[in-house]
Structure formats: C-alpha cells, structure tokens
C-alpha cells in the first residue's frame, strides 16, 4: 500500500473550503465587483483541483462504492425528491418522471453521482496507466474528448458535469505515479 500523501489531503481540504466559500459568495457576486471576480476565480479551478486530487488517490473498491457512496446518493436524492415534491411542489411529469428525478443528480448531488461513475472507470484507467506514459497520454486525450463531448459546465448543476470534469479525475488516476515519484521541485 502506498504511503499517505498529506499534500493531497491538504489540497482536497482547500478545494472543500473554496467550494463552501464560493457557495457563500454566490448570492453576493453580482452586487460587488471584488466578490464577483473572486467568485469567478475560485470557480475557474476549485472543482478541477478537487477532481484531480480525487483521481490521485482513487482506488477501485466495489464494496466501498456500495456501502459509502451508492446508498448515500439514493438517500440524498430521496430526501431531495421529497423536498422538491412537498416544498417546491415540482411537477415531475415535466422533467421525465419520478424515476428520472431519483436517478439523475439534482443540484449538489452531482459530485457524488460523478464520483461513483468515475470510480467505475478506475480499473480501465489503471490498465491504461500500466502500459506506460504514451498509453496514459492517449488515455488522457480520450478523457478530454469525453469531457468535450459532455459539453460545458452549465448552470445550475447538470449531468454534463459528470463528463466535463472527468478529464481532471482521469488525469489524477493516469498520472498519479508520475505526480509524486518523477517530479522534483
């Protein structure tokens, strides 16, 4: 087992703080130029950083996927579904039905949904990584193509984010060994 790399935890912690800070600033961004520019600077990189760090430490573990992520996703989505039905009085027929509302991520649930999807790609990405730098580079090009095909990151949150942020996660997985053994500062 590889030793724990504290700097990755610290970068993920920074990413989480920036997410919280960015969401706090969101409601004030249009009223104050400094807040607006700070908000856009944070949003230019914080999720890419978080996704790359997640890829650097990604390990495929089906049991963890089910016991820590899948059930949490369905619990969160179920609670959101009830909130949307009772408080927001949303008509699910207009958006594809209740099943679609349960299966497709709503608002902030997109990252957990994306992480589950990305974790399913780890065995393939690791197989590519084992073939060397050239294969990893080609794999990265394929991940970028998937990201581009996924489209832009739309507002509010949508399923396209799963694909548009995938290249950053794939980068972390494909170049994990390179990132800490072959580079010196």
| Contact of 54 with 169, CB cutoff 8 Å | yes
Token digits of residue 163: 């694909």
| Contact of 149 with 102, CB cutoff 8 Å | no
> CA torsion 75→57→126→104, rounded to 10°?
20
Q: What is the pLDDT of residues 119-176, one digit of tens each?
A: 999 999 999 999 999 999 999 999 998 888 877 655 555 667 788 889 999 999 998 8
| Contact of 113 with 162, CB cutoff 8 Å | yes
* pLDDT score at 116: 92
| Least reliable range by pLDDT among 6-10, 23-27, 64-68 | 23-27
Phi, psi of 96 (to 5 degrees): 105, 0
What pTM value is reported for the model?
0.77
DSSP state of 68: I
3-state secondary structure of 182: coil
């Amino acid at each position: 087992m590889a030793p724990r790399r504290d700097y990755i935890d610290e970068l993920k912690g920074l990413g989480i703080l920036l997410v919280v800070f960015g969401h706090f600033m969101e409601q004030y961004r249009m009223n104050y130029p400094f807040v607006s520019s700070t908000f856009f600077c944070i949003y230019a990189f914080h999720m890419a950083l978080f996704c790359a760090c997640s890829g650097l430490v990604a390990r495929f573990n089906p049991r963890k996927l089910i016991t820590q992520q899948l059930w949490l996703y369905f619990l969160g989505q179920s609670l959101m579904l009830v909130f949307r039905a009772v408080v927001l009085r949303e008509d699910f027929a207009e958006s594809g039905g209740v099943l679609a509302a349960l299966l497709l991520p709503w608002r902030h649930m997109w990252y957990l949904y994306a992480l589950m999807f990305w974790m399913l790609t780890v065995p393939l990405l690791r197989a590519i990584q084992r073939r060397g730098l050239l294969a990893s580079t080609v794999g990265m090009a394929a991940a970028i193509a998937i990201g581009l095909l996924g489209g832009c990151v739309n507002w509010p949150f949508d399923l396209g984010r799963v694909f548009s942020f995938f290249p950053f996660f794939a980068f972390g997985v494909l170049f994990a060994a390179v990132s800490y053994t072959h580079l010196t500062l």
